[in-house]
Amino acid sequence: MVGFGETYFSAYALYLGANNFQMGVLTCLPPFLANLCQFYTPYLLEKYKSRKKLVLTGVMLQAISLLPFIFAYYFSFLKIEIYILLVTLYFATNSTIGPVWNSWMGELVDANQRGSYFGRRNKMITIGTFLSMSVAGFLLRRATKEGHELYGFIAIIILAFASRLSSFYFLSKKEDIVTQTPVIQKESFLKFCKNLPQKNYGILIISMVTVTFGVYLAAAYYTPHLLKNLKLDYLTYTIIISAVLLFKYFSSGFWGEVIDMWGSKKVVVLTSLLICFTTWPWFLTESLTLIFVAQCYTGIVWAGYELATFTFLLDATKPEERTYVISFYNILNSSMGFIGGVIGAIWVAFYKDSFFAFKVLFLTTSLIRLTSYFIFSTRIKEVKVLAPVKASEVFIKASGFKSTLGLMSRLIILDKKKK
């Protein structure tokens, strides 16, 4: 669904005529409003009792919410504003059930195998998203060549709808676990935010929302930069953005194994540093080759960061508090993303030269991530008791440097034996 749908929301908005400011609003406003719905997630769970039923209801509603996208082109007035509203409804249906799904999966999966399990799961999701993005890019390119660009977008929206229905079917086959301990909201949102610096998972959350603020400053402008400034066609655009997914696929399983062996904390610290450099080629060059290489690097390090932060939150929270902690985190995270997106949109609207404005944002997001790393990421503590290992060792394993040294040493020994 993501490959056919969400990936091309921005491209569809550009086709509908959205300007740079509206692109910024499209990126930050729908997730923010959608995550506010998570204030009601604990009450919905209390009413439904069954987490499985609540998740399935949200999945079906999200599939249905895609259908109005087909008619967005035909709106006679407020076209972009209505489109942003439709995107908001789409995200809201999924956002409301997100913490419930996390809580459900947290009990279905053994705590000692979360890294490897979710690593394998992420690999399957990534390759599915990559393939669907590739098909969608091909359809759009073909439709555009034949003068039917709108029909190309309609086709991928229908495919996204069908994909979400298939996920409904597979989720319906999962076991429904009824919690013995009721999920009760123990503190208000304001108290939750106030207590974050005193809690281990709270320090990670502060780090993550700071990164999100930086990410959303520039998130809306990668697509316009590629399609407008660099004049890419849809196929080349798809190749560039899908490189992230392809390398996420190749690295997700590895990161899962590392997390199970050495713990989430060390991977969080390492990848928090590595993600600071993913945007450097975007503001240093217009070379598509370097941008493509940066996308490959981005896929590897973000795969580790996303998996490590997710498993760390599962490990650091108790089952009875997990739903509301993740709900409040998502609300805080989307709020920071919204603020970042609005600031980015105002910046781009102020500077008519989008080329200069975009590059400043690409640099700024990197500096904010570095700030988050040095102030917050290095302060979190490991939850599990594991064999001691330094983050530098994780880096050596992740980079393949150790295996390279081993290969070199074997070649030297072989050469000596021949002599």
- In tens, the pLDDT along 287-321 reads 888 999 999 999 999 989 988 998 888 888 877 77
**pTM of the complete model beyond 0.75:** no
For 42-81, the pLDDT digits (tens) are 777 777 667 777 888 888 888 888 888 888 888 777 888 8
- 267 inside domain: yes
Is 145 inside any structural domain? yes
Alpha carbon of 84 to those of 35, 226, 276, 416: distances in Å?
15, 21, 30, 67
Q: What is the pLDDT of residue 406?
A: 38
For the chain, the domain total comes to 1
Closest by CA to 325, choosing from 172, 137, 106, is 106
Sign of CA dihedral 19, 23, 26, 29: negative
Confidence check: pLDDT of 389 > 70: no
182 found inside a domain = no
Residue 120 resides in a domain: yes
Residue 253: inside a domain, yes or no? yes
Domain that holds residue 75: 6-172+189-388
- Structural contact between residues 198 and 32, judged by C-beta atoms closer than 8 angstroms: no
184 within a domain of the structure (yes/no): no
* CA 292 to mean position of chain CA atoms: 19
Say if 418 falls within a structural domain: no
Give the CATH number, domain containing residue 227: 1.20.1250.20
